[in-house]
Amino acid sequence: MEQPGAAAAAVAGGGSEEPGGGRSNKRSAGNRAANEEETKNKPKLNIQIKTLADDVRDRITSFRKSTVKKEKHLIQHPIDSLVAMSEFPAPQPLYDERSSNLSEKEVLDLFEKMMEDMNLNEERKAPLRNKDFTTKHEMVVQYISATAKSGGLKNSKHECTLSSQEYVHELRSGISDEKLLNCLESLRVSLTSNPVSWVNNFGHEGLGLLLDVLEKLLDKKQQENIDKKNQYKLIQCLKAFMNNKFGLERILGDERSLLLLARAIDPKQPNMMTEIVKILSAICIVGEENILEKLLGAITAAAERNNRERFSPIVEGLENDEALQLQVACMQFINALVTSPYELDFRIHLRNEFLRSGLKTMLPDLKEKENDELDIQLRVFDENKEDDLTELSHRLNDIRAEMEYPFDKPEKSVCLYCEKGICG
């Protein structure tokens, strides 16, 4: 790899200085050509999220910057990787009046709904769509039976009492302490094991109640042990709730969710903090276009409430040598934040802010740990830092060349200012 110039090293070589001058949103064509071969040999981001908690590690591990906008893929439900025909109820005489009178179009529509309810991606849907109509009809009948028991399917022909609404009623009743803990544990299991339609039925009201309870617990000045346990269960419920397209949209659609997750980051509760930073890492990767701005805003607002630097809790989580998974998760989150911006200046700004918050002094000790997961995250951090240094060096060289040889007409594709439309 080409070593960056002295000016670039002074700006982003691990110190706290930040680049001056105007910002550039694109690399010059010359830079692209210079790095094209190197870029081809480096791993690319491949977002095929199955679950927020487990698979985000692979996403961060393989993350490399690209001048092409990242494609936002849908989060897959945990049952996605486990779905098989054996999970359907055993064939039974289920051809009642409702199922036997279904038209071909209704069967095919319900078949698509069934696959959507299982949160299958297109790759997993393809072989099921190729099955014959009789098999599809049998699967739809079994699906109707299964969803009838769980309260997942609701239409004019099939009304049932939704068990998800019982949780809504319990949360609305204001239960607390041990009773709340038992309710949340049961809810976590239901959110994880039931199909997406069940989560949909729990819906916006259920999410709002979970956030209400979490906010109430975070606002308590005296945190009892049972309060901390309930906070942890609430985080687990939110994680299970958002492991599908519907849940993710609901979470991101509620203005309080990111702020409360940021407020709940507590290095003194390593297990809970591990779950939170994994969730935020995944949101940072698969969220909408402006998710980074919202996420940084939430982290900043949470830090201001405690009068501390916004990245201090994340760096503090790295200091816990007894919680290795927390250290790995924190490095994942740092990589997710630092590599998200498209602009070079912003990436350098975020990286230097983490380094100033104590990460710089901790990196040598972290690199001495013998752990593959942590080593991967540290390598990703260093490689992206070197890439940014190289890009910055090329940018400075281009500017220096234009200043030293102002009368030499550069190639149109190389001129940074022509690309921006400044030259006219």
Q: Alpha-carbon distance 116 to 121, whole Å?
A: 8
Say whether pLDDT at 412 is over 60: no
Q: Which of 133-147, 210-224, 225-239 has the lowest mean pLDDT?
A: 133-147
Q: What pLDDT is recorded for position 226?
A: 95
**CATH number of the CATH domain containing 110:** 1.10.20
Predicted pLDDT at 337: 96
Residues 213 and 282 in one domain: yes
Say how many CA atoms lie within 13 Å of 217 toward its Cβ: 28
Confidence band, pLDDT 50/70/90 cuts, at residue 187:
very high
- Residue 227 sits in the same domain as residue 339: yes
Do the domain assignments include residue 356? Answer: yes
Instruction: Specify whether 206 is located in the same domain as 110.
Output: no
Is position 276 within any domain?
yes
Instruction: Tell me, yes or no, whether 259 and 341 share the same domain.
Output: yes
User: Does 228 lie in the same domain as 328?
Assistant: yes
What pLDDT score does 266 carry? 95
- Are 344 and 396 part of one and the same domain? yes
- Please write the tens of the pLDDT for every residue from 158-179: 333 337 888 999 999 989 899 9
Mean pLDDT score, 147-160? 43
CATH number for the domain spanning 386: value is 1.25.10.10
pTM for the whole structure:
0.65
Q: Are residues 216 and 112 in the same domain?
A: no
Query: How many domains are contained in the chain?
Result: 2
What confidence tier does 99 reach under pLDDT thresholds 50, 70, 90?
Answer: low
pLDDT of residue 272: 97
pLDDT score, position 153: 44
Confidence of residue 84 (pLDDT cuts 50, 70, 90): very low
| Confidence band of 206 (pLDDT split at 50, 70, 90) | very high
Percent of the chain with pLDDT over 70: 66
Ramachandran area for residue 24 (φ above 0: left; ψ -120 to 50: alpha; else beta): beta
Q: Average pLDDT, stretch 94-101? A: 51
Q: Domain check: are 291 and 215 in the same one?
A: yes
Residue 423 within a domain? no
Q: Is 418 exposed, middle or buried (0-12, 13-18, 19+ CB in 10 A)?
A: middle
Asked if residue 253 is part of any domain, the answer here is yes
Taking only the tens place, the pLDDT of each residue in 271-310 is: 999 999 999 999 998 877 789 999 999 999 999 998 999 9
209 and 134 together in one domain: no
Do 264 and 378 share a domain, yes or no?
A: yes
3-class secondary structure per residue, the chain: CCCCCHHHHHHHCCCCCCCCCCCCCCCCHHHHHHHHHHHHCCCCCCCCCCCHHHHHHHHHHCCCCCCCCCCCCCCCCHHHHHCCHHHCCCCCCCCCHHHHCCCHHHHHHHHHHHHHHCCCCHHHHHHHHCCCHHHHHHHHHHHHHHHHHHCCCCECCECCCCHHHHHHHHHHCCCCHHHHHHHHHHHHHHHHHCCHHHHHHHHHHHHHHHHHHHHHHHHCCCCCHHHHHHHHHHHHHHHHHCCCHHHHHHHHHCHHHHHHHHHCCCCCCHHHHHHHHHHHHHHHHHCCCCHHHHHHHHHHHHHHHCCCCCCHHHHHHHCCCCCHHHHHHHHHHHHHHHHCCCCHHHHHHHHHHHHHHHHHHHHHHHHCCCCHHHHHHHHHHHHHHHHHHHHHHHHHHHHHHHHHCCCCCCCCCCCHHHHHCCCC
| Distance, CA of 56 to CA of 336 (rounded, Å) | 10
Q: What is the pLDDT of residue 74?
A: 35
Using the predicted structure, report yes or no on whether residue 102 has a pLDDT greater than 60. yes
- Is residue 180, in this structure, part of any structural domain at all? yes
Residue 351: what pLDDT? 96
Residues 214, 259, single domain; the answer is: yes
What's the pLDDT tens digit per position in 332-344? 999 999 999 999 9
Range of the domain at 303: 164-403
Q: Quick check: is 2 in a domain?
A: no
* Segment among 241-250, 315-324, 405-414, 415-424 with least mean pLDDT: 415-424
Does residue 306 share a domain with residue 197?
Answer: yes
Q: Kindly state whether residue 1 falls inside one of the protein's structural domains.
A: no
pLDDT, the chain, mean: 75
Q: Is residue 46 included in any domain, yes or no? A: no
